[in-house]
Structure 1
Amino acid sequence: MQYYTYEMAHVFMHPVRLMARTLKAQVASPLNPFADLEFSKNIAAACEVFEGMTRRYGKPEFGITETKVGGLTVPVREEIVLKKTFCNLLHFDRDETVVGKRYDPKVLLIAPMSGHYATLLRSTVQELIKEHNLYITDWTDARDVPLHEGGFDLNDFIDYIIEFIQYLGPNTHVIAVCQPAVPALAAAAVMAANDDPAQPSSMTLMGGPIDTRRNPTQVNKLAEEKPISWFESNVINFVPFPNAGFGRRVYPGFIQLTGFMTMNLERHTQAHMKLFENLVKGDCDSVNAHKTFYEEYLAVMDLPAEFYLQTVKTVFQDHLLPKGEIMHHGQRIDCSAIRKTALMTVEGERDDICGLGQTEAAHDLCSNLPIDEHYYYVQPGVGHYGVFSGTRWRTEIAPRIREMIRTVQFKRRTGGTETRMPLPYHTLHADREAIVDWRAPTGAAPNGSAAG
């Protein structure tokens, strides 16, 4: 019923939005002799803020048409290389006629399936394609998938990841951002247990809820407060007609967005008040920056109900992965089976969605990895989104991931016989007694800071 109410509200608001756009066009028209009056500017600004807050935002485009490689501007083309019911594997193909044949590491970037589209990682992609052969999971809005196509749950998510890695072949490096850290780690464990020749060379988990019992956030506490039956009764809805997925049970994106907005309501309110002020002043740069962010942030997608409910129960309530009790098609997933996939975890110091230590927990689970293939980094001064976007991502985090990938690639190419290379980030000891900064001179005391 919530979904139908939401749809009807949009229908009823459509003529109101149309009137707001019409009024704005009239008062802001250069033909209006009163357009420069403060009163007219206030009306135009109010209409624009109202229209932006009440309209529906469709799926954004990545819009990445070029990148810089070795100082050269290289055209980039998006291509779908593998189609699945609930996801497309998207490749960012750089024009080799400009830059020549390159043998950059293959990277599979796993975007979160948590209400926003994969384009939320646009800045992540923009940085990675400079020096990597990049692929990304482009998840499909569940409301657009016909009911006869079947369901999608956590097991299917793991299957998709395994299939994508196998498609890309050996020497693939996986980066999972936020929610897919759990299925990515599970997929690597399944492939390791089966001695799959396509096991990824490295896996980077960024701000992921591996063990939400550590330093729980408000999001974690909300997930534990209610039984799974409450979530099924209160947030699961049927996709209304005339959408292609009519009749499918989903966790609607607008409910997820409402939760996110409520968590930081004061900040979002102030942002829109600032937008109003900037519109009145004519500060175009600030207005465009606001619109760019919110056009992405307010574009949401529906999640399959079975996937959402299983994730809540498995990851946030029962903590099956860190307990070693998670199952995949009847087979227990054992992360200690991972021996050939280097592990790096990245966390934000001020992350209020995935608390410090939750992603780091993956190192305890991958107990049979060599000591020098555990990499742990905490970025000071950033929250959840700062882990994969913004200045700190470009200047602090991405270079460390790039160096790790190339170090691991070099080690695999030489059969692991070469001496360990100095790394510009921290390596986590298996005994967890010290975090070593390999930039320190030989014999120096370990740096106990996890932040760098």
Structure 2
Amino acid sequence: MNHAALAPWRAAADAGINFWRSPANPFAETQLGRSWAASLEMFERTTRRYGKPPFNIVDTIVGDDLIPVEETVALAKPFCRLLNFRKQWEPKRPQHKLLIVAPMSGHYATLLRGTVESMLPHYDTYITDWVDARAVPLIEGGFDLDDYVDYVTEFLQHLGPNTSVMAVCQPSVPVLAAVALMNAAKDPSAPKTMILMGGPIDTRRNPTAVNRLAQEKGVDWFRNNVIMKVPAPHAGIMRDVYPGFLQLGGFMTMNLDRHIDAHRELFWHLVDGDGDSAEKHRDFYDEYMSVMDLTAEFYLETVEKVFVKHDLPKGTLTHRNNAVDPSKITSTALMTIEGERDDISGVGQTEAAQDLCSNLPKDKKLHYLQPGVGHYGVFNGSRFRKEIVPRIVAFVNKNADDRTAQKPSANGRSKTA
């Protein structure tokens, strides 16, 4: 309703921006003109509803070759699409498959664009592209934590043997559960390796502000205060959801001073005519401000089972009344990665998976703590590309089937449009 109420003002702001930036306006390149245009753009950007960004991954570099990439849908489900970034080439041997499980925590899977780009030179790369809950009609039913585990299992079975799985942040718990259940069932599609990155496996270790909030409030507070019904005209009308804009508000307030400073700098970049710096800000915040709604049942179960009751580390987590026992994992190698400055998943929370997978041989386990990075730096950025990616590639190739593993390219990287 707030967004709809602002629609006339946004239309006026758009008209004003066009006026003050028009080449026909003699004041367009003056301090006054740029100040008015900058002010109106700031209003427009802070009141805009950002849509889902595209991946825009069109090619990658393997060795010395520039390979075109085609984004395809490998499998479609009501709440998720399994995307494959298919390289248009004929390799000497099939590349090992890598399933990247993106977090369902407010942002779209495109937040992992850099993660996909870094993995593309080395593997046949897939990612879970979660669907905004407000776009899923009620007739499709609900989506809870058990459904999440089912989706991960189905995707791994669809990809078949000789696949590895990478969970970034939130999906670490359901991915570990899915892999444990697949190992217990001797499923031939159980992944060769599992990489858990900055995930809340055991939030009792080094708890962060996010963890403490869940403990202090309890699940009933979240049920009563943050769950809303999808309004018209969205396809998911009347579905109970945790709205993405509330999650975005939580993200923003964690580092509010930094975001205020960034927007202040954008204003002065626009006034000074510094187009390159302004464009960098736009690119980052166009992605950061793009958020999706989560189904209420999934959100509340995650709060209760992961952050309040700690079911997985306590050994009480179940999936459709079946116990989830990570000690059953005996064939899937485990790598855990954490960031030294992570303020969302504290140091030690992801490493806890190493203790839970107690029957894995030591040579199938690896933990890595990346110095100098926060939560985002665990899966993106220059240090991720230079220091974390080579370790992931070496670990996966060591434990993957020899027929599909490929040695990493020294200069393997990918480009975006």
> Normalising to structure 2: TM-score of the pair?
0.95
CA distance in 2, matches of 1:61, 1:197: 34
Cα distance in 1, alignment partners of residues 122 and 402 from structure 2: 18
Among residues 23, 29, 36, which one is paired with 1:30 in the alignment? 23
> Which runs of structure 2 are paired with 1:10-29 in the superposition (5 Å)?
10-29=3-22
CA contact (8 A) 1:223 1:312 kept: yes
Distance 1:196 1:384 in 2: 33
Corresponding residue for residue 222 of structure 1? 213
Q: Deviations over 1:283-307 (max 9, x none)?
A: 2221111111111111110101000
3-state SS of the aligned residue for 1:82?
A: strand
Question: Partner of 1:200 in structure 2?
Answer: 191
* Structure 1 segments unaligned to the other structure (5+ residues): 1-7, 415-452
The alpha carbon displacement at 1:410 in A equals 5.3
Aligned counterpart, 2:408: none
Code of the aligned partner of 2:243: P
Q: How many residues align?
A: 406
Whether the aligned pair in 1 keeps the contact of 2:152 and 2:178 (CA below 8 Å) is yes
Q: In 2, distance between residues paired with 1:320 and 1:164?
A: 24
Deviations along 1:105-148, whole A, 9 cap, x unmatched? 11000000001110010010111111110011010111111111
Deviates more, 1:147-156 or 1:29-38: 29-38
Q: Which has the larger radius of gyration?
A: 1
Q: Does 1:93 align with 2:83?
A: no
Q: Which of 109-118 and 401-410 deviates more?
A: 401-410
The partner residue of 2:319 within 321, 328, 334 is 328
- 1:104 aligned onto 2:95: yes
Between the aligned partners of 1:265 and 1:306, the Cα distance in structure 2 is 29
Secondary structure of the residue aligned to 1:232 is: helix
Question: What's the secondary structure of 1:91's corresponding residue?
Answer: strand
Q: CA deviation at 1:100?
A: 3.8
CA contact (8 A) 1:105 1:405 kept: no
Aligned mates of 1:40, 1:168 — CA distance in 2:
56
2:189 is equivalent to residue 182 of structure 1 = no
The reply on whether 1:74 has 2:72 as its aligned counterpart is no
Offset, 1:411: 6.7
Is contact 1:154-1:183 (8 Å) kept? Answer: yes
What is the match of residue 254 of structure 2? 263
Offset from partner CA, 1:176-217 (integer Å, 9 cap, x none): 000000000000100111111111100000000000000000
Deviations 1:412-442 (A, max 9, x none): 989xxxxxxxxxxxxxxxxxxxxxxxxxxxx
Is the Cα–Cα contact under 8 Å of residues 162 and 404 in structure 2 kept in the other structure? no
CA distance in 2, matches of 1:100, 1:110: 25
In structure 2, give the amino acid aligned to 1:24. Answer: I
- Tell me how large the CA RMSD over aligned residues is: 1.5
Q: Is the 8 A contact 2:93 2:403 kept in 1?
A: no
Structure 2 residue 281 is matched with structure 1 residue 290 = yes
The aligned counterpart of 2:337 is 346
1:365 and 2:353 matched = no
Name which of 243, 249, 256 aligns with 1:252: 243
Mapped contact 1:68–1:130 kept (Cα < 8 A): yes
Residue identity (%): 57
1:103 Cα deviation after fit: 2.1
Distance in 2, Cα, partners of 1:410 & 1:171? 6
Structure 1 equivalent of residue 411 of structure 2: none
| Counterpart residue type for residue 53 of structure 1 | T
- Of residues 149, 165, 170 in structure 1, which corresponds to 2:156? 165
Per the alignment, residue 410 of structure 2 pairs with none
The structural deviation recorded for 1:240 is 0.7
| Structure 2 residue 203 is matched with structure 1 residue 212 | yes
In structure 1, distance between residues paired with 2:372 and 2:344: 15
Pick aligned residue for 2:391 from 378, 388, 400: 400
Residue 106 of structure 2 is aligned to residue 115 of structure 1: yes
What secondary structure, in the 3-state scheme, does the structure 1 residue paired with 2:359 have?
coil
**4+ runs deviating over 4 angstroms:** 410-414
Q: TM-score, normalised by structure 1?
A: 0.88
- Give the number of the structure with larger relative contact order, counting CA–CA contacts within 8 Å between residues 6 or more apart: 2
Which range moves more in the overlay, 12-21 or 104-113? 12-21
